[in-house]
Structures are given as C-alpha cells and as structure tokens.
Amino acid sequence: MKSLIRYNAIRGECGVGDIEELVSKRLDHLRKGTGHRFLRRRASGRVIEMVGNPLPDGGFVTSFTDVTEHIESQQALKEANIDLEKRVEARTEEVQGVNNELMQEIERRNQAEKALISAKAEAEQANASKTEFLALASHDILQPLNAAKLYMGILQSTQLPEDTGQVVAKLFDSLESTEALISTLLEIARLDQGAIQPKLVDCSLQDILTPIISEFDVIAENKNIRLSTHIRALRVHTDPIYLRRIIQNFVSNAVKYTEKGRVLVGVRLRNGFAYLQVWDTGVGIPEAEQQKVFDDFYRWENTQEPGMGLGLGLVRRMQKQLGLVTHIHSTPGKGSCFSIGIPLAQSDVIVEPPNEGSNKRSKRQNCPLLCLVYR
C-alpha cells in the first residue's frame, strides 16, 4: 500500500507537496480508519474526487469519482455570478450617472423656467409701461397737433402766394399723417390695456362699406386704379366700429400697394358667415412674409410706400377680440386677397327646404361668384 501511494504521489495524483509527507498522511488515515475526501486535478485537467471510509470489519474502502463537469459547472456559475455582479454594478453606476444628469437637467430647466417667468414678468411690465406711456403721450401730443391743424386751416383760407400755399398744403398733409399715426398708436395702446372692448350688435354691412368705398374712391381715381364693389344688403353680428377699422385697413393697403389695375371689394356667403374679401392687382406678398405683415412696425423691404406698419397690427388686435380670423391669398407680382369671415345676423340666416336632386348639386351654387382676372 505504501509503495502504491508513493507511486501515485510521484505521478502527482496526491496533490502538491513533499512526497514522503503525502505518503505518511494517507497511511495515517488508513491506520486510524478515519474517513477522508480529496479533490485532485490530474495532469490531463480532469478532476477526481477521492472519498475514503472505514469498513465495519476493519477494512477500508476508497472511491474515485470523475467530477470534472461538476467542478466546471460550479466554476462557470461562479464566473457568471461574478460577471453578473460586475454588470449590475456597472449598470447601477450608469443609472446613477443618468439620474445625476437628469437631476442636473431638471435643475437647469427649473432655473431656465424661473428666468423665463422673470423675463416674461419684466416684459409684461415693460409692455404695460410702454402702453401706458403711449396712451398718455399720444393724448397729450394730439392736442397741440389739433391746434396746429386749426392754424393751418386758417392759413389755407387766406389769400397766400402760390408757393406759400403749396408749402402750407404740404404742412397740413404732414400734420394729418402725424395725427393718423398717433391716433393709431393711441388706439393700439387702448386695445392692449383692455380699455376698449367690442360691443357686438346686428348691423348693416352695406352701411359700413359704403362710406369706406367713397373715402378711397377719390384716392384710387387719382392713381388711375379702378375701385369696384360686389356687395349686397346683409346684416352681420359684430362691432361696427371694429369692423370699419379692419375694412379701412384692408382697402387702404390694397389701394396703396396697387400701381395699376383694380381693387375689388366683395362679399361671399358660406356656412352662416359673410366673407368680406378685398382683392388687388398690386405687388403681392411672398408666402414667407404673409404672417409677418400683422406684426407691429413690420414693413416688407421691397416696398417703397410710406407708412409705419401699424395698420395690420391694429387689425390683429381687433379681430382677436372679435374672435375672427383673416386669411391671406397672395402671389408676388400678381396681387393679394385679404378675407375675413363675419357672422351673419340671425335674421339673415335663411334655411331652404331641400329640392329633389339637391344632394347632387354643389352647395356653392347659391353663393355669389367672385372672380378677379389679372391682366
């Protein structure tokens, strides 16, 4: 037995260590009859489990089992656990990093929101101050302007040399332009302050349009522009003062920016609304500029016409209070159409019973046709 154990020890089957100590250790187990269990990895890489137990009659039995796959499975499981722990740790660090970045982003956004709220409050305060200043200053400036116009009117009524009369006439025109500008600023200021609110009533659309057409007919005639209308007696539900100012701006711009051709004011009925349309054969507006024309002080750079760009800003405010919307159709070099839909008064809403075959007819055939041909 001793020789056998030494033989195995020399071949490395008993583990690492001094040969004699390894032999002595195993012989001692045999003499004392104590059980033992060893795992030995052979040179081939296989792992053998050796289990020795004493027998009741004084003998000793030792079993040898190849547990290589079991050991490899345990090692693989151990490595998998280690890898999983590392991945969990890395993921935890990643999530923590994302959370930190998220918290920083939330903090930045909170700061930005606070700055935005502060800037908005400052802007609203500045706008309120500006509006109040315009209201007060415009009112005070109008008084001396009216006095100056009065004196100019007196001068025009006297006999003056021709050259002096021309100068006085130009001064009077300048005063009127200045008064119109300041009046517009005052009107905008009052709208922004909420000092005026629309009063919705049933009113005649023709009564609103007729004086406006008369007002601009002379101006159009002086420019050799044909100003025509296609209107009908209708009653609408709106604020007549607001609507008059809106239409005045549309017609004024159409006449101003049309060098030749015509301006047509018409009305179409659709779905309980009267759509007032102002067509012109003027310079037209590029699509990219069409919404900008409603900004205060905006003027298209390609136009040479005088003005401060406040008229459509006034329209924007008034139509917003009225709950109306302006539509623009324009082609550069051909002309434009400004259209606004106004609710019809209830007395003018006519519901006709359907006729046989009416479902096959166009709903538009009962509406007046508005056609403008560009030449």
Three-class HEC string of 17-73: CCHHHHHHHHHHHHHHCCCEEEEEECCCCCEEEEEEEECCCCCEEEEEEECHHHHHH
Residue 224: the pLDDT is 92
In a domain, 121, yes or no: no
In a domain, 143, yes or no: no
Q: What are phi and psi of 266, to 5 degrees?
A: -140, 170
Higher pLDDT among residues 87 and 138, named by residue: 87
Q: Which of 66, 89, 119 is the last residue of a domain?
A: 66
In DSSP notation, 288-327 reads: GGTTGGGSTT---TT------S-HHHHHHHHHHHHT--EE
In a domain, 44, yes or no: yes
Separation of alpha carbons 205 and 256, rounded Å: 23
Would you place residue 340 in the very low, low, confident or very high pLDDT band (cuts 50, 70, 90)? very high
Higher pLDDT among residues 364 and 152, named by residue: 152
Per-residue pLDDT tens digits for 247-271: 989 999 999 889 899 999 999 999 9
Name the token pair of 364.
């538009």
371 in the Ramachandran plot: left (φ > 0), alpha (ψ -120 to 50) or beta?
Answer: beta
In a domain, 45, yes or no: yes
Per-residue pLDDT tens digits for 180-205: 666 777 777 777 777 678 899 999 99
Average pLDDT of every residue of the chain: 79
As separate numbers, helices (DSSP H) first and strands (DSSP E) second, the chain gives 7, 10
Higher pLDDT among residues 156 and 237, named by residue: 237
Name the token pair of 118.
């502060």
In a domain, 167, yes or no: no
Q: CA neighbours within 13 Å on the CB side: how many for 251? A: 27
Domain span at 224: 201-350
Burial of 96 (0-12, 13-18, 19+ CB in 10 A): exposed
pLDDT over threshold 80, residue 26? no
Average pLDDT over residues 80-104: 90
pLDDT over threshold 50, residue 145? yes
pLDDT over threshold 80, residue 162? no
Per-residue pLDDT tens digits for 103-129: 999 999 999 999 999 888 887 777 666
Secondary structure of residue 154 in the 3-state scheme = helix
In a domain, 132, yes or no: no
Q: Which of 28, 50, 66 is the last residue of a domain?
A: 66
Residue 358: the pLDDT is 38
Closest CA to 316 of 246, 241, 244: 246
Residue 307: the pLDDT is 58
Task: Work out how many domains the chain is built from and give that number.
Answer: 2
In a domain, 103, yes or no: no
Secondary structure of residue 333 in the 3-state scheme = coil
- Token pair 């139509």 is found at 319
Per the CB < 8 A criterion, the answer to whether 249 and 214 are in contact is: no
42 in the Ramachandran plot: left (φ > 0), alpha (ψ -120 to 50) or beta?
Answer: beta
Q: What are phi and psi of 137, to 5 degrees?
A: -65, -45
Residue 296: the pLDDT is 76
pTM over 0.95: no
Average pLDDT over residues 118-146: 71
Per-residue pLDDT tens digits for 224-239: 999 999 888 889 999 9
Q: How far, in whole angstroms, is CA 231 from its chain's centroid? A: 38
* CATH code for the domain of 277: 3.30.565.10
Secondary structure of residue 269 in the 3-state scheme = strand
Residue 335: the pLDDT is 92
In a domain, 130, yes or no: no
Residue 200: the pLDDT is 92
pLDDT over threshold 90, residue 276? yes
Q: Which of 66, 81, 115 is the last residue of a domain?
A: 66
Single-letter residue type at 193:
Q
